[in-house]
Amino acid sequence: MKNEQGEPQFGLARVLKGSTGTPEVFTVSDGGPQSPDRRRFLLLGSGIPAAAALAAFWAERGVAADSVIRAHAGAITSLLASSDGTVLTSGSGTEDLKKWMLPDGSLVGPLGQPPLRSAGMWVLSPDGARLAHVLAPSRSSLERQSTLEIYFPGGLTGGEIPITEFSQPTAMAFAPDQKSLLITDGAEIIVAAVNPTGQPQLTRRFQAGPGITCLTVDRSIVIAGSRDGLIRTWNLSSGAVVGRFNTGGAITAMLLLVGQPTVATGHADGAINLLSLGDGTSVTVTKLNSPIRALVPGPGGDSLVSGCEDGTIRSISLLTGDSLSTRNLELADGAKLTMMAAIGGKNLIAVGTSTGQIVLLDLPELQTRTHLFDPLASDQSAKGVAFRILDPITGRTVTYTLPCGSQIPPGATCVCNCVPGAVSAPTYIQPPPPPPPREGMTLPCTAKPIPPGYTCTCNCIPGR
Amino acid sequence: MAGVSESRVSGRGCYAPETMLVGIDTWWYDVSSTRTLGGSCTQMPDMELIGNQHFVPKPVPGAVGAVKRANVSAELFTIPTDDGKFIVYAPLRRAAFVANGALVDFIVRLRETGIVDEVADPGGLVTDFLRNLEIVDGGEEPRPITEFSGDPEPTAVTLFLTTACNLRCTYCYAAAGDTPARFMSLDVAKRGIDFVAANARRKGLPEIEITYHGGGEPTVHWKVMTESLQYAREVASRLGLGVKAYSATNGVMNDSQICWIIQNLNGLSVSFDGLPSAHDKHRLTVLGQGSSAQVERSLRRFDEAGFPYGIRVTVTADQIASLSDSIRHICSNFNAQRVQVEPAYQLGRWDDAASSETEGFIAAFRAAVLVAAEYGRSLFYSAARVGALTNHFCGITQDSFALSPDGGVSACYEVFSGDNPLSASFFYGRPTGFAGYEFNLPVLNNLRRQAVQHRAFCSGCFAKWSCAGDCYHKSLTVNGSGEFAGSDRCHITRELTKDQILAKIAGSGGLFWHEGALGQSGVSAGKEVLS
């Protein structure tokens, strides 16, 4: 063993040769065990212009460089609605958590100072008074220790505690008393007590899996759904097994029905079942064509809303099992629905997708109210229509955003103004069917009401 | 170029803010050039001086063609590839891509001026690409630095139970068996356990950690190994704490020891060199016989019980050629959670042997990685760990608390006895009174200063936030007490780190890797329990 010859110098510095021409990025391929000459990494092709790498950046995150109105650059991984339905918090990948005002979905900004990161799993207590976060070690980390952190609304820090021998969380849930938090990595359930100052303390951990995908608590009973199709229940305080119920197929979503010993289960094969925790009876309510990604309560507690991976959203009556309404989000190629959240007291749900979209839908009609829009997360070509309308519930005038070409609700006012100082001339054309055909007309973009039934086609909202 | 011809500015050119027609090499005015121009450059009022070399255009808010500013916000390294390209690596953003020289220079100009070269990036998309990787306008980079001060308050203890060993490995760094055997008393172990348990209680941590390690084979001192863990459990129970226990071992043990380990330890690092022919050449019993059969028997028992263990493969120069076969033997027969491969350390009985820290080792490691991949496994080399951002290579810079058989406090697993030649550098405490320890803070603080942010030699190395300065013991072995000046291991580390960066890019779609900066809570402590 001996010293090196001179200090290593790899800091960024000018390239003396080969620095002319177009900036390019090169593709790296892992040749794997069969690579030629056992050379594992191959630099392919002659490079692509670095300008085009931006599109690849978005594509790698499931985001096409298109005109989609986005809330985040990448897939939505967290949607947390406050209990009073006035604030929505969203997260994606390693981006900052973002805070949106409801019901209009206006962007307030990142949550917390410094901003809290989306990475990991987040859950909100039922009363909205605590945010719990489990940050797992990176996949390449040598450690197998996660961290449980508690925050208050607004991003203020409560306390944190390490969770040893614990990697990626697959589900989390607060108990109804708000004092206990359950976390699982699929195999083990960890119970943490959270005191009023936000300091968590681990109180119990027990083997519960394998393959737990969803978790909830009914009073003192822990309920977990798994990929093996089983619903298992335990006593929260003792960890003793209470019950074990077979629902038939891999469980991908679960909802505890209010006031009933019944859980709705969503399955990888698209089925939605109702399981009685009393007698173990499981009934299939409906069968959709794509894995169920989310189940949330509908208005009044007598319906639920399911979200399928392919973007199909269905409202189902719990009284009759009938479908009340169905909506397809018409996702872009390859895009998937990833998250849903019910917004308490507002008859609204928020739907997140793998392409960074968050859409607010009115219940029970499942009509789009608005798309949450962050220009910095959207492509330059992102365009939409912004319009102002009176919220009949609050009496406030709010501004909503829809994809370019969307129909504006009757009585809405276009507030397009794309280019500062320029004359904007949005064109309103007829939608099919009536009102009777007529030529398109243009109006100044100065808060003029749009005639009922007309569609705004102006490109109002520039990206960046 | 509008306004001034290139020839009038001695080939450097002049910036014309109204047109933005500026070339890559026409951005700059040096002071001497502009002085010789006198008043001939009509754009001078729109220029400002950056540092003492360059004039750059002032931004004109709202004007068409106003300059676009951007801030290079990442610590960047460029790593040349074999074919004239460069890996651009932002370790603290956990981001990388392979670029041509033009893109590297584009970033250099951006960093120097804060202005986007609109000739090279007319649509701003190159800058946007860098922005999305947090290389541009990404805000302050969190530096993965944790530092220690004052008296140490460890909550983990390593016990060097004995210098005696039931093997006589040819490459043993400890030369175990050649020196008078020393054994730790139970009282020495208890004092250390009491100390870390009290610290854990005071710090409100949920558990303590106890690790058994060399110089000799820990299981040889079986009585104190088992009784000390029993004692740790009793103390921890009284204080409401848990206990995690680990050990290093050569794997030569009897059935009852295997059962006890399965029932009582949380993990094990087993030294095993793979192919029986390779293992038995160097890992010999006291009677000079190969030990592979006994080790494999232990490993099979661990596998049957689902017990978590790692394997450490030591590669001597003569075994480099068979490393792939050894890895195949391990992967096809055993379920080790981690396989660590290290070149043999030229110390102890291996002091005068041929070095295996060679290009041959790198090539063999790369080939072995491919073999491991066939079995869905990966190999680990201690100083190449891209993604695990840290300023600590091991515990010596973060108050590692290891007790020698006579109770002295060492920071290093390789300095396990007070009569070690480097003990003055690594022994920083001794027992005092009826309980506790007194610490030599100058020695301890010198160890703390070996964290990578203090190493001038490492400042320009792209691997510094993952290698974290490598092994201080090895550094001292090469340099004596001199300033760290790298070693043959540095080259190995950089080559394998480069592989890992390329693997990250390839595994992220092939064009770039970007996981984003780690928060402080995500920073690895750099502790290697199983090595």
- Closest chain B CA to residue A33: B370
pLDDT by residue for chain A (464 residues), tens digit each? 566 667 888 999 888 776 778 888 888 877 666 555 555 666 665 677 777 776 666 655 544 445 678 898 888 999 999 888 889 999 987 788 899 988 888 888 888 877 888 888 898 888 888 889 998 765 444 556 788 999 987 778 888 888 888 877 889 999 888 889 999 988 889 999 998 888 999 988 888 878 899 999 988 899 999 988 999 999 888 888 888 999 888 999 999 988 788 999 999 999 999 999 888 888 898 899 899 999 999 887 789 999 999 999 999 988 888 888 999 987 877 789 999 999 987 789 999 998 899 999 988 889 888 889 887 777 666 667 777 777 776 777 787 887 766 677 777 777 654 322 222 333 333 333 434 434 455 555 544 556 555 666 565 555 43
Residues B83 and B231 in one domain: no
In single-letter form, the type of residue at position B30 comes to: D
Q: Residue A73: its chain B contacts at CB < 8 A? A: 132
Given this model, what pLDDT does residue A415 score? Answer: 64
Interface test with B, best of A7, A14, A57, A199 (most B CBs within 10 A): A57
Q: Examine the domain organization and report whether B53 and B128 are in the same domain.
A: no
Tell me the one-letter amino acid at B177.
Answer: G
**How far apart, in whole angstroms, are the C-alpha atoms of residue B331 and residue B372?**
7
Nearest to A147 by CA among A186, A171, A120, A124: A120
B99 and B203 in a single domain? The answer is: no
Of chain B, the percentage scoring pLDDT greater than 90 comes to: 59
pLDDT at position A41, please?
67
Q: Which two tokens stand for residue A241?
A: 């097994």
Q: What's the pLDDT at B357?
A: 86
In whole angstroms, give the CA distance from residue B263 to residue B75.
Answer: 47
* Residues spanned by the domain of B37: 6-57
Q: Which residues of A touch B74 (CB under 8 A)?
A: none
Return d(Cα B377, Cα B310) in angstroms, integer: 12
A37 touches chain B (CB under 8 A): no
Asked whether residue B82 falls in the same domain as residue B125, the answer is: yes
Rounded CA-CA distance B143/B157 in Å is: 28
- Residue (of B213, B148, B145, B212) closest to B176 by Cα position: B213
pLDDT one-digit tens code per residue, B413-467: 989 988 888 899 999 999 998 889 999 999 999 999 999 999 889 999 999 999 9
Burial (CB < 10 A; 0-12, 13-18, 19+), residue B145, is middle
B19 and B104 assigned to the same domain: no
Percent of all residues in chain A with a pLDDT value above 70, rounded to a whole number: 77
Looking at the structure, tell me whether residues B395 and B278 fall in a common domain.
Answer: yes
Nearest CA-CA partner of B99 in A388, A403, A135, A53? A53
Asked whether the beta carbons of residue A12 and residue B486 sit closer than 8 angstroms, the reply is no
Residue B418 is assigned to a structural domain of this protein: yes
Phi and psi at A368, nearest 5°, equal: -70, 125
Clarify whether residues B444 and B486 are in a common domain. Answer: yes
Residue B376: strand, helix, or coil: coil
Interval B13-26 mean pLDDT: 27
CA distance B431 to chain A (A): 30
Model pLDDT, residue A58: 60
The two tokens of residue B389 are: 């951002």
Helix B292-305 and helix B255-264: axis angle, to 10°? 40
Number of domains in chain B: 3
CA proximity to B307, closest of B358, B354, B266: B266
CATH number at residue B189: 3.20.20.70
ipTM of the complex: 0.79
- Residue B355's pLDDT is what? 87
Q: Are residues B53 and B81 in the same domain?
A: no
The answer to whether the beta carbons of residues B408 and B430 sit under 8 Å apart is yes
On chain A, the residues whose CB falls within 8 A of the CB of B96 are: none
Q: Which amino acid is at B234?
A: E
Query: Residue A174: enclosing H or E segment and its boundaries?
Result: strand A171-174
- The residues with which B467 forms a beta bridge, in sequence order, are none
User: What is the rounded (10 degree) CA torsion for B410, B413, B418, B421?
Assistant: -120
Nearest Cα residue in chain A from B492:
A4
**In the structure, what pLDDT confidence band is assigned to residue B13 with cuts at 50, 70 and 90?**
very low
3-state secondary structure of A319: coil
Distance, CA of A77 to chain centre? 4
Structural domain boundaries in chain A: 78-300+369-379, 383-464
Both B83 and B52 in one domain: the answer is no
Q: What is chain A's percent helix, strand, coil content, to nearest 5?
A: 5, 45, 50
By Cβ distance, the residue of A8, A14, A41 closest to B108 is A14
- For residue B8, pLDDT over 70 is answered with no
Distance from CA of B390 to the nearest CA of A (A): 10
Predicted confidence (pLDDT) per residue in B201-251, tens digit: 999 999 999 999 988 999 999 999 999 999 999 999 999 999 999 999 999
Same domain for B179 and B268, yes or no, is yes
Q: Give Rg (Cα) of chain A.
A: 25
Say if A40 is an interface residue toward chain B (CB within 8 Å). Answer: yes
Q: What is the per-residue DSSP string for A25-90?
A: EEEEEE-GGG-GGG--EEEEEEEEEHHHHHHHHHHHTT--SSS---SSSS---EEEE-TTSSEEEE
Which residues does chain B have within 8 Å of residue A40's beta carbon, measured at their own beta carbons? 366, 369-370, 499, 502-503
Residue B139 maps to a domain: no
> What's the pLDDT tens digit per position in B81-140?
888 899 999 999 999 999 999 999 999 999 999 999 988 888 788 888 898 888 998 888
pLDDT score for B43: 31
Collect all residues of chain B within an 8 Å Cβ-Cβ radius of residue A50: 99, 103, 106, 121, 125-126, 129
- The one-letter code for the residue type at B426 is F
In Å, what is the CA distance from B340 to each residue of B117, B193, B201, B530? 46, 29, 34, 9
- Interchain CB distance below 8 Å, A50 and B129: yes
Q: How far is CA A157 from the centre of its chain?
A: 23
Residue B194 corresponds to which amino acid? Answer: D
**Of A2, A60, A119, Cβ closest to residue B488:** A2
Q: pLDDT, tens digit, for every residue of A375-397?
A: 777 766 666 777 777 777 677 77
Do B314 and B403 belong together in one domain? Answer: yes
Coil/strand/helix, residue B4: coil
Residue at B531 is within a domain = no
In this prediction, residue A427 carries a pLDDT of: 38
The sheet carrying A180-184 orders its strands as: A171-174, A180-184, A188-194, A200-207
Phi, psi of B248 (to 5 degrees): -95, 150
How much is the average pLDDT of B189-195? 97
The first and second tokens of residue B84, run together, are 């004239």
Are B373 and A117 in contact (CB < 8 Å)? no
* Topology annotation, domain A78-300+369-379: Methylamine Dehydrogenase; Chain H (2.130.10)
Are B122 and B41 in contact, with CB atoms under 8 Å apart? no
Please report the pLDDT score of residue A114 as a whole number: 77
| pTM, rounded to two decimals | 0.59
Tell me, yes or no, whether B391 and B306 share the same domain: yes
pLDDT at A432: 36
Predicted local confidence at residue A380, as pLDDT: 61
Q: Between residues 116 and 155 of chain A, which touch chain B (CB distance below 8 Å)? A: 117, 119, 135, 137-143, 147, 149
* 3-class secondary-structure state, position A230: strand
Distance from the Cα of B144 to chain A's closest Cα (Å) equals 13
- Candidates A8, A54, A160; nearest CB to B132: A54
Most distant CA pair in chain A, distance: 89
Which of B75, B129, B523 to substitute to test the interface with A, most A CBs within 10 Å?
B129
B402 lies in a domain?
yes
Selected for mutation to probe chain B from A118, A134, A142 (highest B CB count within 10 Å) is A142
In a domain, B68, yes or no: no
**Yes or no, beta carbons of A18 and B488 under 8 Å apart:** no
Q: Find the mean pLDDT for residues B341-358.
A: 85
Which 8-state DSSP code applies to residue A257? P
Q: Is B381 exposed, middle or buried (0-12, 13-18, 19+ CB in 10 A)?
A: buried
Q: What is the DSSP letter of B219?
A: G
Distance CA B8, CA A28 (A): 45
pLDDT, averaged across chain B? 83
Q: Which residue has the higher pLDDT, A33 or B290?
A: B290
Evaluate if residue B50 carries a pLDDT over 60: no
Q: Which residues in chain B have Cβ-Cβ distances shorter than 8 Å to A160?
A: 521
SS3 A397: strand
The model's pLDDT over A268-310, given as tens digits with 9 standing for 90+, comes to 999 999 999 888 888 898 899 899 999 999 887 789 999 999 9
| Token pair listed for A250 | 């891999």
Instruction: Tell me whether residue B262 is in a domain.
Output: yes
Contact: B511, A44; criterion CB under 8 Å: no
pLDDT for position B402: 97
Which residues of A are less than 8 Å from B269 in CB distance?
none
Q: How far A348 CA sits from the closest chain B CA (Å)?
A: 32
In the block, residue with structure tokens 């695990």: B388
**Residue in A10, A44, A119 closest to B462 by CB:** A10
